[in-house]
Amino acid sequence: MTPPLKTLVIGAGICGLSSAIWLRRAGHDVMLIDKDGPGAGASYGNAGLLAQWAMIPVNTPGIARTGLKYMLDPNEPLFMQWRYFPKLVPWLLKFMSNATDKGVRATVDGLMPLIADSVSQHEALTRGTAAAKWITNSDITYAYANRKAFDKDSYGWNLRRELGYIPELVEGPAVQEAEPMAGPNIQCLATLKGHGHILNPGAYCDALAQVLQEEGGTICQATVQDFDIRDGKVKAVITDRGTLPCDHAVVSAGIWSKELMTKLGLKVVMEAERGYHLHLKNPSQMPRNPMMLVKGKFGVNPMSSGLRCAGTVELGDHNAPLSNAPLELIRKNIKWAFPDLKYDEAEEWMGFRPSTPDSLPLVGEIGGTGVFAAFGHQHIGLTAGPKTGRWVADLITGKRPNVDLSPYDANRFG
């Protein structure tokens, strides 16, 4: 009998875990490699939302006019590490060039096949396993100060309506009947029905790691340093714990994937959107469903271990420590939105969203090397992880996914 192909998956976040599980189910000998262990990065600290509705990119028309204003105003949820700004310029120029209606629609067309069935993709990944208990169905509610603030977001809502995402609006005194946790500053709710969220992202990733091992995969804690490429094909992955032979490799290491790509001669245009969360322990109130607090641009998600308030954007160096200003803004907006909310303590966290200038991930083979990309998901890594993993497994096993993968071309940056 022919021995199973050896595939190494680099990065144990949701995309790497999903790729490893689907590859193992396809018969591969799979080892998952991560320097910290499963779910230690953005897959741990994200908002936990299965954001099937998050197809509208940040760089919509008009962002050039408002972006600088936001970065100069400490009360707006966009921050800049100015010392890093010169290094950001190439990414920013490409990012701004996509801030057109044509560019946005191209991004939307690319994201829809990836995220529109996220809940069912997570259910398929976990069906019959202990990891399934962390997935739950829910609605998602956008919370606005008033109808005027909702109307200001008409560009994005009009695009969603075209795709069948029709919000149910609640205004005035009915807001507090629909969502008792909402304070008087919130006077308009826009709810989308039939979505889902994760009750504990860190525990979910731990459970998926257990699924992989129970199904015959292995996990190695190591730092990847380079690839052994001979005759144009990957033969091994070189780590601080030795050289690991392989037939294929999957790079799913978030923002650190950019550095690994340089080992293959590929310069990926990707930067870190530094995201923050406050995880409130023993909160006195919980929302009926997850919310997006539009004023602060962060999600408010009821979890098994407390209330997570996660979001904001800080552009900067992914090697720099966390900043206080984004966390203070989240605190300020929590008080603005939920004045009666009390809690024992607030866990502070910062992580890195790997963001491309066209807001689309890289999924597919790097040249003909046998190294496959599965990274660059920006705000939708948790949402898109299971489907990304399924696509990567299909590509490696010779099955062509029934979808146009050209928007995610792993070689599109040169």
Report the Cα 50 to chain-centroid distance in Å. Answer: 9
- Tokens describing residue 255: 């923002």
Instruction: Using CB atoms within 10 Å of the CB of residue 25, give its burial: 0 to 12 exposed, 13 to 18 middle, 19+ buried.
Output: middle
Backbone angles phi, psi at 236, to 5 degrees: -165, 160
Please check the confidence at residue 77 and state whether its pLDDT lies above 90. no
* Whole-number pLDDT of residue 358: 95
Closest CA to 293 of 329, 325, 334: 334
pLDDT digits (tens, 9 = 90+) for 362-389: 999 999 999 999 999 999 999 999 999 9
* Whole-number pLDDT of residue 3: 74
* Whole-number pLDDT of residue 70: 72
User: Are the beta carbons of 173 and 180 closer than 8 angstroms?
Assistant: no
Q: What percent of the chain has pLDDT over 70?
A: 99
Please check the confidence at residue 215 and state whether its pLDDT lies above 60. yes
Q: How far apart are CA 383 and CA 119, in angstroms?
A: 8
- Tokens describing residue 36: 């910290």
- Mean pLDDT over the full length of the chain: 94
Per-residue DSSP letter, 4:
P
- Burial string for 134-162 (b: 16+ CB within 10 Å, else e) reads bbbebbbbbbbbeeebbeebeebbebbee
Q: Which CATH superfamily is domain 60-86+135-197+270-355 in?
A: D-Amino Acid Oxidase, subunit A, domain 2 (3.30.9.10)
* Whole-number pLDDT of residue 2: 61
Q: What are the sequence ranges of the domains in the chain?
A: 60-86+135-197+270-355
pLDDT digits (tens, 9 = 90+) for 251-274: 999 999 999 999 999 999 999 999
H or E stretch covering 363: strand 362-365
- Residues in a beta bridge with 195: 138
Helices (H) and strands (E) in the chain, counts: 13, 19
User: Are the beta carbons of 211 and 126 closer than 8 angstroms?
Assistant: yes
Q: Which residue is associated with the tokens 């340089």?
A: 262
pLDDT digits (tens, 9 = 90+) for 96-111: 999 999 999 999 999 9
Per-residue pLDDT band at 43 (split at 50, 70, 90): confident
Please check the confidence at residue 71 and state whether its pLDDT lies above 90. no
Higher pLDDT, 1 or 148: 148
Closest CA to 91 of 106, 80, 101: 80
User: Are the beta carbons of 108 and 407 closer than 8 angstroms?
Assistant: no
User: Are the beta carbons of 261 and 276 closer than 8 angstroms?
Assistant: no
Q: Where are the alpha helices (DSSP H) in 49-173?
A: 63-72, 85-97, 101-115, 118-126, 147-152, 154-162
pLDDT digits (tens, 9 = 90+) for 165-201: 999 999 999 999 999 999 999 999 999 999 999 999 9
Sequence-separated (6 or more) residues with CB below 8 Å from residue 256: 11, 318
DSSP 270-312: -EEEEEEEEEEES-S---SS-EEETTTTEEEEEETTEEEEEEE
- Tokens describing residue 28: 């591969």
Q: How far apart are CA 157 and CA 110, in angstroms?
A: 18
Please check the confidence at residue 397 and state whether its pLDDT lies above 90. yes
Per-residue pLDDT band at 286 (split at 50, 70, 90): very high
* Whole-number pLDDT of residue 4: 83
Closest CA to 43 of 331, 317, 393, 384: 384
pLDDT digits (tens, 9 = 90+) for 108-130: 999 999 999 999 999 999 999 99
Instruction: Using CB atoms within 10 Å of the CB of residue 106, give its burial: 0 to 12 exposed, 13 to 18 middle, 19+ buried.
Output: middle
Report the Cα 9 to chain-centroid distance in Å. Answer: 18
* Whole-number pLDDT of residue 66: 77
* Whole-number pLDDT of residue 170: 98
Q: How far apart are CA 47 and CA 299, in angstroms?
A: 6
Per-residue pLDDT band at 40 (split at 50, 70, 90): confident
The four Cα atoms 358, 364, 369, 375 give a dihedral, to 10 degrees, of 60
pLDDT digits (tens, 9 = 90+) for 315-371: 999 989 999 999 999 999 999 999 999 999 999 999 999 999 999 999 999 999 999
User: Are the beta carbons of 361 and 375 closer than 8 angstroms?
Assistant: yes
Q: How far apart are CA 115 and CA 382, in angstroms?
A: 10
* 3-state DSSP assignment of residue 151: helix
Q: What percent of the chain has pLDDT over 90?
A: 89
